[in-house]
Amino acid sequence: MRLYWVDTPAGRLATAPAPSGSGLDREVGDLVRDEVSIVLSLLTTEEIASMSLHQAGRTLEAAGITFRNLPIPDFGIPDTYDEADDTINELTDALREGRSVVVHCRGGIGRSSTIAAAILTQLGVAPEDAMSRITDARGITVPETSAQRMWV
């Protein structure tokens, strides 16, 4: 799992593409070595099935990494603001405590960048600056869609 570490005012925040089903144990080991505390997956149930990632949450939890899932359709935004807000607040609090958080979607570009930018705004970073920081870390312009940019 390639991690793209973002300049953040508190803790450590990374965006990433989804782990591979076949290399999950190795990738979780890498996350443990990077001292990652929480992984937020934005994959839908269908994506989890198609990528053989049914065991990802249990594997992460067994390694001492908190796992959260907030399913968002590819190229989409959260369906409900309340659920997203609760998750974003939890991750923001973790960063304020100095912990390390990874947010991933399938490709690590659109959905993960959208949620990471929302987390940064909760830490006091202006929305455009948040997206710019993630773009710098990722090396490509993010998020992917205008709806994602507007949501931040």
C-alpha span between 137 and 22 (Å, rounded) = 26
Neighbours of 112 (CB within 10 A): 29
Identify residue 3 by its one-letter amino acid code.
Answer: L
Given the residues 43, 102, 105, 125, select the one marked as catalytic: 105
Neighbours of 126 (CB within 10 A): 10
C-alpha span between 32 and 79 (Å, rounded) = 31
Neighbours of 108 (CB within 10 A): 25
Is 105 among the residues known to form the active site? yes
Using DSSP's 3-state secondary structure scheme, residue 18 falls into: coil
User: What residues are paired with 4 via a beta bridge?
Assistant: 15
Neighbours of 116 (CB within 10 A): 34
Q: Among all residues, which ones are annotated catalytic?
A: 105
